Amino acid sequence: MANFKALVLDQDRLFPADPTVRAIARRLYAGIKDLPIVSPHGHTDPSWFASNANFDNATSLLLLPDHYVFRMLYSQGISLESLGIRTKDGTPVETDYRKIFHTFAQNYHLFRGTPSRIWLDSVFHDVFGLEYGLSSETADLYYDSINEQLVKPEFKPRALLDKFNIELIATTEGAVNSLKHHAALKGTGYEKRVITTFRPDDVIDADRADFLSNIKKLAEQTGQDTHSWQGYLQALRIRRQFFRDHGATATDHGHPTAKTANLSADEASKLFQLCLSGKASKEQTELFRGQMLTEMAGMSIEDGMTMQIHPGAFRNHNPSIFERFGADKGADIPSPTEFVSNLKPLLDKYGNNAALKIILFTLDETTYARELAPLAGHYPSLKLGPAWWFHDSPEGMLRFRHQVTETAGFYNTVGFNDDTRAFLSIPARHDVARRIDCRFLAGLVAEHRLNEDEAHELAQQLTYQLVKQAYQLD
């Protein structure tokens, strides 16, 4: 093993190099590193926690679900078939999981400088106790060691919730999901720890191929006439309550843009009928999504659910990948997003209501200082979600804090979201956010813009209290 490179996670990683600021960052971090993880937005599979079955193997757990990983490999000419990504059209794919792990290991250098490298190394070191860096030479050692550990009882999903100190984790489900896995958790003691989130894009986005079948399903689930505007709205109210009965405290809306609308009931009803007819234009389905954001805000005032808006992803940008492999294959690309005019109809109607909690996210960093911080720094209903997706990275988090804090302050932000389906990386992702917040706060302290006792308090709040307040988790 002499020529294997040691895998070392430096205790000062991600802290500033300046010794004065670094010393402050260390002190701040010491005060928060062991706080419980609250994960209010993410995409883990609730069946893991319901069945509590052991995970299969290193490849199917760490690689196959992680589009951050295979998009990078794909960008360097490695086919998704060779990585074992299942096809929709029946094209055969690699099924030798050890071979796939080798391909990944051989190409691990591609992740140098990326957050995936930080997350993965943390998983290897902290979760699996691996002592050498991943490379072609260590691929078998890794694959065997990880698989040997995955069959143990302490690697079952619920045991990992304890090991990771996860106080709460929210999954995300479509409006017509049966929530059977959350239902199965009832009575296990985990039902308050693993909760769902109401994501109604499947019954709001008339551009989706399954829109009409979902509207039909919505009728079956609620007993409402979902082909009438009022019946459809009532059905959504019923489903929101159903999700609340399975722990949901928040909704999530992943629209192409931040467009909102405030149509009369008559206009909205006509637009809905047009969407149902399949004859709506792109502009009309966009207007309908916009109207529905405003309707959802109204329902959030009725039932108290926090509303998350995640706009601006150009989904499935690569049509040949979409045709062969489907969605969520690393082919979503950020596009410019406008908030000031687009949110105005919703804000005109509900923006002054302090009981309404809307959390805005963006993939367009140019909006942080120009649009989002001024909006959240004024409207009582608006808060800013953390740096998201492509910006969930040390530099992305720093850019977020640098650009929004002076106008929105810290208290119009809501702490960290890991937004991940890579369950084992959750502690590492939260640790990166904690370290970067401490780094940013340490800079303010070193420049005498903040007292250190205030910075300690803020570090705690950004890690824990603000998250629970924003998502109403108390």
**In the structure encoding, which two tokens stand for residue 290, read together?**
């916009």
User: CA–CA separation, 100 vs 365, rounded Å?
Assistant: 35
CB nearer to Zn ion: give 173 or 437: 173
CB nearer to Zn ion: give 16 or 40: 40
CB nearer to Zn ion: give 139 or 293: 293
In the complex, what is the shortest distance from the CB of residue 93 to Zn ion, in angstroms, rounded to a whole number? 26
Nearest 5°: CA angle at 234, between 303 and 218?
110
CB nearer to Zn ion: give 59 or 393: 393
CB nearer to Zn ion: give 261 or 372: 372
In the complex, what is the shortest distance from the CB of residue 328 to Zn ion, in angstroms, rounded to a whole number? 11
Helix/strand number for the chain, H first, E second: 22, 11
CB nearer to Zn ion: give 309 or 382: 309
- Count Cα atoms within 13 angstroms, Cβ side, for 468: 14
CB nearer to Zn ion: give 66 or 419: 419
In the complex, what is the shortest distance from the CB of residue 232 to Zn ion, in angstroms, rounded to a whole number? 25
CB nearer to Zn ion: give 201 or 419: 419
CB nearer to Zn ion: give 156 or 357: 357
**In the structure encoding, which two tokens stand for residue 110, read together?**
């591609």
The residues that touch Zn ion, with contacts defined as CB under 5 A, are 419
CA 182 and chain centroid, separation: 19
| CB-based contacts of 28-34 (< 8 A; 24+ apart in sequence) | 28/438, 28/441, 28/442, 28/452, 28/455, 28/456, 28/459, 29/434, 29/435, 29/438, 29/459, 31/456, 31/459, 31/460, 32/434, 32/438, 32/459, 32/460, 32/463, 32/464, 33/431, 33/434, 34/165
Q: Residue for token digits 């990166």?
A: 432
In the complex, what is the shortest distance from the CB of residue 383 to Zn ion, in angstroms, rounded to a whole number? 16
Residue 334 φ then ψ, to 5°: -65, 145
Q: Are 46 and 193 in contact (CB under 8 A)?
A: no
In the complex, what is the shortest distance from the CB of residue 44 to Zn ion, in angstroms, rounded to a whole number? 11
Q: Are 311 and 258 in contact (CB under 8 A)?
A: yes
**In the structure encoding, which two tokens stand for residue 245, read together?**
């009965």
In the complex, what is the shortest distance from the CB of residue 84 to Zn ion, in angstroms, rounded to a whole number? 24
Specify burial of residue 341 (Cβ count, 10 A radius: 0-12, 13-18, 19+).
exposed
CB nearer to Zn ion: give 332 or 419: 419
- Count Cα atoms within 13 angstroms, Cβ side, for 212: 9
In the complex, what is the shortest distance from the CB of residue 179 to Zn ion, in angstroms, rounded to a whole number? 17
Q: Residue for token digits 């190099």?
A: 17
In the complex, what is the shortest distance from the CB of residue 393 to Zn ion, in angstroms, rounded to a whole number? 16
Query: Looking at beta carbons, which residue is closest to Zn ion?
Result: 419
Q: Are 337 and 370 in contact (CB under 8 A)?
A: no
What's the start-to-end Cα distance of the chain, in Å? 50
Strand intervals (E) in 254-409: 306-309, 313-314, 333-334, 358-360, 382-384
Distances from the Cα of 235 to the Cα of 197, 217, 232, 239, angstroms = 17, 10, 5, 6
User: CA–CA separation, 385 vs 41, rounded Å?
Assistant: 10
**In the structure encoding, which two tokens stand for residue 233, read together?**
């709205």
CB nearer to Zn ion: give 68 or 128: 68
In the complex, what is the shortest distance from the CB of residue 252 to Zn ion, in angstroms, rounded to a whole number? 7
In the complex, what is the shortest distance from the CB of residue 456 to Zn ion, in angstroms, rounded to a whole number? 30
In the complex, what is the shortest distance from the CB of residue 466 to Zn ion, in angstroms, rounded to a whole number? 19
